[in-house]
């Protein structure tokens, strides 16, 4: 275990060129060592948690990301104006931008990360491979291509191939190509994504290892030539090249291979004189051959699992190193303690093709276990904009992998987000598979097992006892809150056994029930149930029930259109009470005619950004034609024509942010 951090030199104030949970993480580390923080914000989130928790806040104004969080000139000028001595870029945004690091340096600010030269070398994935090869590390051969996809493969390349952004990372825009026919289309998509995300459409191609593990090594280096590793993480479980579950250490590979990966990562870092925190990523095949993949010269989303098993606060070390201090520990002092697993909770709907959900979070509940680390920036007041689909990260530590897995499953079951769809149940399903338990995984596992995983979720929901949901609904509507009970009481319907109609999962149930204080009796499917309400927490919107010796906690949120959202074991159920419809305005239940079959409008079905429009006004289109492409959650989604028609009006432009159900195009009959 590492020693407590000692700093001879320290910044007085740092600026944070980021937002959300990573900004909160940096603020927490800075406060712990008495460093003041300056938070930047766009005007639409001036009351966001990262602004409130920082010592000072500074507006970046209005506009798109390029005008705010990606505006290098503005960020540097405001940091100087407000007395910051250094800037921490977090991850994403400007964290790997060499021009930003250079601008900081030119202005006399310390960039809390590697040098400009290292960012230039390691930020370009093709150049990074050259450096890795020079350091004696195996690499996957690659070559740079243009967006046309018009090139010939030589003998060392074979399908499937992987197309990647040369100046990017994080899996954004990556495309797997299985044959020559796909090359042109997917090369164009990858180049477009690279330009949108990283400002350069340079892409490259490498051989794709289908049956591989993704293992990465966390490193730290200082200005005195000290470079250490903090062991490795297994990030094999990915969906569309996006990590969703990460763990440390990587017990899936042999100890000998782990040591070789550590040595390879350190060799690459020594080759470039690396300073500050970084991660070296590798692909490992089933014969334990390994290949350098890329280096991320920044803090990683999944850094908490490494902190959990080593006791090292990586962000504090970043701040100390950048201030000019040597590492606070040597390699020999780092020991592994137990096992840690992180799950990323996203706003997406697995049962609807993982469609991104930009719906607002109406209520959320986090695990109460103090042994679970929670990283989130969710703000129910609307102070924080949802730039990213990541709702929270849950990190579980255990004495061994199985105990950490069990703790994380319990934490996921205790987590609730009402109002938006999430991947909570999908994460639990992954952790419960025999392959995960036995640690027999590869990077394609999620894709190859998608049908079985979704079926598992559906079956689990079907097995959820509807009597529990109905009990919660009856108490929520008629038994607990004065504002809801008043509707019932004013109606004059109260009697020994009342009746109501409840719609659950598309099915209507006629219920006879009686509530007396904390006791509820009701008849459902010719059976009588008795529930005891053990606890009510109106502030947290939680009900704790007991039935036949079993207790369950259910979260609830009542909307203003007679609907009720209930959260149980990571699942969210929507119920509607037809008996209460008379007490709500008709406007709450009007259908949007634009969404009906045969409508002349095509609405967006997700939240995202328009990256390409394939049609023009007055153009004739055929059913199935690609009309436009919307980027959301690091993937491109095609908008297809539902029928033969003519384009009457295009309602959006390239680069515009769109929301769920927003009109995109208007059609007219031929």
- Give SS3 for 528: strand
Q: Dihedral angle at the C-alpha atoms of 349, 350, 352, 355, nearest 10 degrees?
A: 50
Catalytic residue among 298, 344, 373, 405: 298
* Residue 630 burial class via C-beta count within 10 angstroms: exposed 0-12, middle 13-18, buried 19 and up: buried
Q: Tell how strand 620-621 and strand 635-640 pair up.
A: unpaired
Coil vs helix vs strand at 397: strand
Cβ-count burial of 369 within 10 angstroms (0-12 exposed, 13-18 middle, 19+ buried)? middle
Angle of helix 98-106 relative to helix 116-123, nearest 10 degrees? 170
Tell how strand 242-248 and strand 227-239 pair up.
Answer: antiparallel
Structure-block tokens of residue 268: 């690459």
- What does the alpha-carbon distance between residue 591 and residue 566 come to, in Å, rounded to a whole number? 23
CA distance 395 to 420: 22
Measured over the CA atoms of residue 74, residue 80, residue 84 and residue 87, the dihedral's sign is: positive
d(C-alpha 421, C-alpha 601), whole Å: 25
CA–chain centroid gap for 287, Å, is: 32
Sort 506 into a burial class: Cβ within 10 Å, 0-12 / 13-18 / 19+: exposed
Nearest to 516 by CA among 557, 479, 570, 571: 479
Task: State yes or no: is 298 an active-site residue.
Answer: yes
Q: Which of 210, 501, 428, 454 is nearest to 353 (CA)?
A: 454
The catalytic residue positions are 298
């Amino acid at each position: 275990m590492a020693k407590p951090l000692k700093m001879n030199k320290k910044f007085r104030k740092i600026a944070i060129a980021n937002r959300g949970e990573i900004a909160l993480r940096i603020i927490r580390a800075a406060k712990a060592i008495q460093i003041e923080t300056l938070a930047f914000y766009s005007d639409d989130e001036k009351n966001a948690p990262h602004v409130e928790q920082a010592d000072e806040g500074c507006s970046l104004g209005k506009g798109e990301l390029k005008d705010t969080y990606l505006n290098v000139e503005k960020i540097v000028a405001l940091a100087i104006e407000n007395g910051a001595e250094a800037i921490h870029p977090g991850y994403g945004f400007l964290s790997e931008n060499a021009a930003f690091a250079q601008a900081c340096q030119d202005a006399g600010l310390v960039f809390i990360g590697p040098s400009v030269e290292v960012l230039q070398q390691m930020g370009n994935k093709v150049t990074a491979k050259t450096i890795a090869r020079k350091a004696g590390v195996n690499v996957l051969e690659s070559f740079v291509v243009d967006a046309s996809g018009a090139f010939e493969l030589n003998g060392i390349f074979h399908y499937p191939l992987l197309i990647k952004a040369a100046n990017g990372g994080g899996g954004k825009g990556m495309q797997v190509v299985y044959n020559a026919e796909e090359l042109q289309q997917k090369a164009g998509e990858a180049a477009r994504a690279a330009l949108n995300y990283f400002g350069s459409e340079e892409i490259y191609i490498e051989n794709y290892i289908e049956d591989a593990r993704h293992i990465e090594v966390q490193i730290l280096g200082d200005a005195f030539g000290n470079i250490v590793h903090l062991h490795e993480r297994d990030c094999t479980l990915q969906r569309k090249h996006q990590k969703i579950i990460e763990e440390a250490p990587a017990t899936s590979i042999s100890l000998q291979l782990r040591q070789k990966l550590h040595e390879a990562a350190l060799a690459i870092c020594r080759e470039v004189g690396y300073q500050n925190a970084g991660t070296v990523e590798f692909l490992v095949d089933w014969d334990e051959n390994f290949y350098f993949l890329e280096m991320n010269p920044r803090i990683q989303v999944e850094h908490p699992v490494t902190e959990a098993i080593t006791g090292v606060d990586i962000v504090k070390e970043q701040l100390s190193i950048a201030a000019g201090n040597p590492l606070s520990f040597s390699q020999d002092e780092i020991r592994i303690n137990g096992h840690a697993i992180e799950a990323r909770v996203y706003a997406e709907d697995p049962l609807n093709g993982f469609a991104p959900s930009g719906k607002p979070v109406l209520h959320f509940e986090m695990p109460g276990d103090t042994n679970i680390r929670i990283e989130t920036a969710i703000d129910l007041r609307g102070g924080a904009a949802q730039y990213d689909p990541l709702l929270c990260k849950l990190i579980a530590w255990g004495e061994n992998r199985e105990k950490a897995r069990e703790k994380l499953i319990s934490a996921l079951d205790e987590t609730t987000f009402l109002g938006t769809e999430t991947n909570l149940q999908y994460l639990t399903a992954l952790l419960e598979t025999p392959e995960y338990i036995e640690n027999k995984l590869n990077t394609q596992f999620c894709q190859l097992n998608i049908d079985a995983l979704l079926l598992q979720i559906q079956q689990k929901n079907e097995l959820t006892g509807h009597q529990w949901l109905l009990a919660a609904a009856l108490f929520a509507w008629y038994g607990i809150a004065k504002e809801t009970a008043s509707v019932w009481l004013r109606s004059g319907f109260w009697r020994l056994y009342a009746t109501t109609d409840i719609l659950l999962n598309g099915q209507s149930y006629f219920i006879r029930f009686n509530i007396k204080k904390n006791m509820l009796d009701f008849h459902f499917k010719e059976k009588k149930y008795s529930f005891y309400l053990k606890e009510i927490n109106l502030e947290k919107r939680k009900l704790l029930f007991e039935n036949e010796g079993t207790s369950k906690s259910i979260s609830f949120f009542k909307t203003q259109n007679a609907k009720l959202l209930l959260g149980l074991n990571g699942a969210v159920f929507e119920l509607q009470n037809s008996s209460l419809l008379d007490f709500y305005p008709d406007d709450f239940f009007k259908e949007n005619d634009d969404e009906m079959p045969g409508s002349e409008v095509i609405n967006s079905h997700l939240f995202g950004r328009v990256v390409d429009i394939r049609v023009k006004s007055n153009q004739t289109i055929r059913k199935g034609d690609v009309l436009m492409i919307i980027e959301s959650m690091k993937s491109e989604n095609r908008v297809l024509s539902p029928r033969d028609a003519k384009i009457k009006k295009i309602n959006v432009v390239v680069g515009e942010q769109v929301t769920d159900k927003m009109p995109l195009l208007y059609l007219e009959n031929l």
